[in-house]
Amino acid sequence: MALDPAYAGYSYPASTPYLVGREKIREFAEAIGSVDAVHFDPEAAKALGYPDVIAPPTFPIVLTNDQLNLLIADENLGLDFSRVVHGDQRYTYIRPIRAGDALTCLCTISEITARAGAEFLTTSTAITTVEGELVATAVSRIVVRAAAPESEN
């Protein structure tokens, strides 16, 4: 099944608030091999002007995972996840994500295109505080590989 191009511009329901904690930031920083004290030590973060520890730049993947699951579960979209490869991921920050933030994500399908037998789905996810402050935007592009041709037997 091909992706439905009519989904361009469609937004999924916002996620439930995610409370960012020091422990989650620490676990994520350790998982990616970060040794920057700003991810572990509140005093080191405060010395740089932050109110608490801040998350590594790729931390939003933790927040946006539920939004990806909405794409996968949406049968009308036509996404065959078994043929998906990750094409691109970018984050634009207004400010760092920090411990104590309560954040929600709103995923919008920006574009659906097809080229050379593959389909491309681009999403833009606004990451905001529960008070409505935009913290960051995550832009993701996934590539849906063409189905293998059926063999002639």
Give the model confidence (pLDDT) of 104-116 as tens digits.
999 999 999 999 8
Q: Which helix (H) or strand (E) holds 93?
A: strand 84-93
Give the model confidence (pLDDT) of 64-87 as tens digits.
988 889 999 999 999 989 999 999
Q: Tell whether the model's pLDDT for residue 153 goes beyond 60.
A: no
Q: Tell whether the model's pLDDT for residue 1 goes beyond 90.
A: no
- CA gap 58, 86 in Å, rounded: 15
**pLDDT score recorded for residue 77:** 94
Q: What CATH class does 7-21+55-144 carry?
A: alpha beta
**pLDDT score recorded for residue 57:** 96
Q: Tell whether the model's pLDDT for residue 7 goes beyond 80.
A: yes
- CA gap 25, 68 in Å, rounded: 21
Give the model confidence (pLDDT) of 123-150 as tens digits.
999 999 999 999 999 999 999 998 766 6
Higher confidence at residue 151 or residue 16?
A: 16
Q: Which helix (H) or strand (E) holds 123?
A: strand 118-129
Domain ranges of the chain: 7-21+55-144
Q: Tell whether the model's pLDDT for residue 117 goes beyond 90.
A: no
Give the model confidence (pLDDT) of 25-64 as tens digits.
999 999 999 999 999 999 999 999 999 999 999 999 999 9
